[in-house]
Each structure stands twice: as structure tokens, then as C-alpha cells.
Structure 1
């Protein structure tokens, strides 16, 4: 089983993206953006947002490596920049900025696509983290299977959180949702610092 599935890599990708994309923290934002929709429309918005986010992240995971090669960007540079971006996302989680609903934009724009699908779910943090995992993987079948399953698992969690947003919010309450967002921000900050530290070590080793 280990030849086609790497549990350690799966866990790393899943936990990192789960913390970045923060399914419980999406609940109050999703409820605010879809407050005027019916139950059926809200469920459809949840599906659309998850599909858009998954499509954007997969596109960067597949073509990101070629883009980096074309622009002559090294993995340590990507790790360092990714760590800084993740640190910004962590600060937003810790300060509560991500809990503030963003305007849905011009009239006629589907909120499930913008801003929910991207950049809220498929934001720079999730995109860079996925590209770092792909770049750092061995490129064998087990790595791709593990990363793909982790991506799907996180997006399933996102869909379930939005699909049952009313129930989740009722169970956690405002205080519970905020508490989970703060803990997620703390964990994400630690992940960001580790990425930057690994990048510095790699730069020194290659010097």
C-alpha cells in the first residue's frame, strides 16, 4: 500500500491546506454571502465554490512547475515567498480580518465564484502551498496519489462545511467559530515560519 500511497505526505498536505482554507472559518462568510438565497440556491453555491477552488488549485499544481522552470524560480525561493504569504494569511486569521464578509462585487457576479471560490478558498496561500508540495515531492505515483487525495479530502470538508453551514454555525456558535479560526491562524503561522526556515537552510546549503 505504501508504494501507491504516502500517509505522511497525505497528512502534511491535508493538514496544511485544511488550516489554510479553514472550513469552519468559511461558514460565517458563506452564510453572509448567501443570506438572500434559498436553500437550494445555497447548496448550488456551495458546489460551485468548491469546484472553482479545486479547479484553480489543480491548474497551478499541474502547470505550476513548468511556470517556475520558465521563470527560473527555485524551490527555496518558492518556499520562502510561500512562507511569507502564509504568514500574512495567518495574521488575517489571528486578527479576525477573514471573518469580515467581502463585497460580492458588481451586480450579476456569482458570489460562489468571486469572492468565495477564489480568492477566498483558492487564495495565494493554498495555491503556493500546493505548488510547494508538488515541487518538493518525488514525482512518483505515491506522491501524486497522496497529494490528489489530500486535495480532494480538503475540498470535501469545505463542501460539507458550507452544505451544512447552518448546522455547523448553530453547534459551534459565534465564539466557537472564532476560536477555531484563531487556533488555525496560530498553526498556520508555525507552518509559515517552518517554510521560511527550510528555505533559508536550502539557500545556505546550495551556496
Structure 2
């Protein structure tokens, strides 16, 4: 396993999907007074939906790119811009108050997607898959995806305990730091894409 690639993929997805930051959103959607069994089922459904969406794009994202004729630098540029948008939302708190759906399972929509498996996480996963050259790289990316989703489930499953320990102010601080790190990752993606465009034109 390529541990460096695992670390990069894990940190990137962790920052984007923000397990600590999902706690207040999860509690707001499921209700702080909801039964423990209800929250446990909602957490499992949300993580399962998010994992399914991420895996689908990881497997078939390349085919879609080939069909549309999109290059990796173009994908990196778009991905960087999308990540920057998510970072700004984290920094400004735009994700702290999601709109309450009028129907449907809130664990699937909006929690599973687009809050967890949003455009930032999807594009980041596709970019990492594009970078993979051998089996060890794919295993590293898969392990990172599973590890982040496992953390998502743990934080949501024990959301009341986490909220009691970190308090709302602690979770807010973690979300803002995550937004700052994500903004740096987004700028790096765009810079790498620009460098690739220049090298390709030269």
C-alpha cells in the first residue's frame, strides 16, 4: 500500500466530508430527542448512501471523462474550484444550517448526499483515482475512502456523546480549521493543473 497516497486521500476526504462537523447537522436533521435506535439507523443509511455514491464515481468516473473528452488538468481545475467553494462554505458556516426537506428520508437526502457525498468529495476521489498507477495505489485510495466513512459513522452514531464532549463551540472551531485546510488543498489543485496545462502547451 502506498502510505503517502493513503494519507493524502484520507486527509483530503476527511477535511471535505468533515466527520466532526456532521454532528450538529446530523442532530438537527434527526432531532436531539430522537430514539437511539433511530439515530443509529439514520447514521448507517447516510454513510451507506455516501459510500455508494463515492465508489460509483471512483469506478466509472474515468469512463465518463473519456466519453466527454475531459483532461485531468481540466478535472483538477474544476475540482479545485469546487473544493474552494466547499471550503468557503465551511469557513462562513453556510453548511451549518441545511434546509429541512419536506419529504423523503433525511438520512439519504440531504445528509447522505449532497452533504456527505457532495461535489467536492466526488471530484477529489476521481482525481486520486486518476493519479493511481498500480494496484497498491488503488488499495490505498479504497482504504482511505473506507476509513473516512467509518469515522463518519462513528461520529454520527455517537453524535450526542461527541457533542457533549466537544460542545458546539469546539465543533465550530474544527469546522473552521477544516475549511482553511481545504482552501489550501483547493489552491494546490488549481496550481498543479495550471502547471500541467503549461507543460502540455510547451
Specify the TM-score bucket, using the shorter chain as the normaliser.
over 0.9
Given the alignment of the two structures, is residue 93 of structure 1 paired with residue 90 of structure 2, yes or no? Answer: yes
Name the SS of the counterpart of 2:95 in structure 1. Answer: helix
1:38 Cα deviation from its structure 2 partner: 1.5
Partner Cα separation in structure 1 for residue 20 and residue 42 of structure 2: 17
1:47 to 37, 44, 48: 44
Deviation at 1:102, TM superposition (A): 2.2
CA distance in 1, matches of 2:160, 2:96: 16
The match for 1:117 is: 112
Q: What are structure 2's unaligned runs of at least 5 residues?
A: none
TM-score (norm: length of structure 1): 0.95
Q: CA deviation at 1:39?
A: 1.0
Q: After superposition, what is the alpha-carbon deviation per residue over 1:106-125, rounded to whole angstroms, capped at 9, x for unaligned?
A: 33x00000000000000000
What is the aligned counterpart of 1:9 among 5, 12, 16? 5
Match of 2:158 in 1: 164
Structure 2 residue 140 is the aligned partner of structure 1 residue 146: yes
Whether the 8 Å contact between 1:76 and 1:200 is mirrored in structure 2 is yes
Could you tell which deviates more after superposition, 27-36 or 192-201? Answer: 27-36
Q: Is the deviation greater in 166-175 or in 34-43?
A: 34-43
TM-score by length of 2: 0.98
Aligned residues: 200
Task: After superposing the two structures, state which structure 1 stretch, 30-39 or 144-153, moved more.
Answer: 30-39
Superposed CA RMSD: 0.7
Task: State the alpha-carbon separation in 1 of the partners of residues 146 and 168 from structure 2.
Answer: 28
- Residue 137 of structure 1 and its aligned partner are, at CA, apart by 1.4
Which residue matches 1:201? 195
Match of 2:35 in 1: 38
Partners of 2:29 and 2:199 lie apart in 1 by 47
From 61, 64, 68, the equivalent of 1:64 is 61
Gaps of 5+ in 1: none
Shift of residue 33, structure 1, vs aligned partner: 0.2
Q: CA offsets, 1:17-42, max 9 Å, x none? A: 00000000000000000006321011
Are the aligned partners of 1:27 and 1:165 in contact in 2 as well (CA < 8 Å)?
yes
Deviations for 1:74-96, whole angstroms, at most 9, x for unmatched residues?
00000000000000000000001
Q: CA deviation at 1:174?
A: 1.0
Aligned partner (choices 10, 13, 16) of residue 20 of structure 1: 16
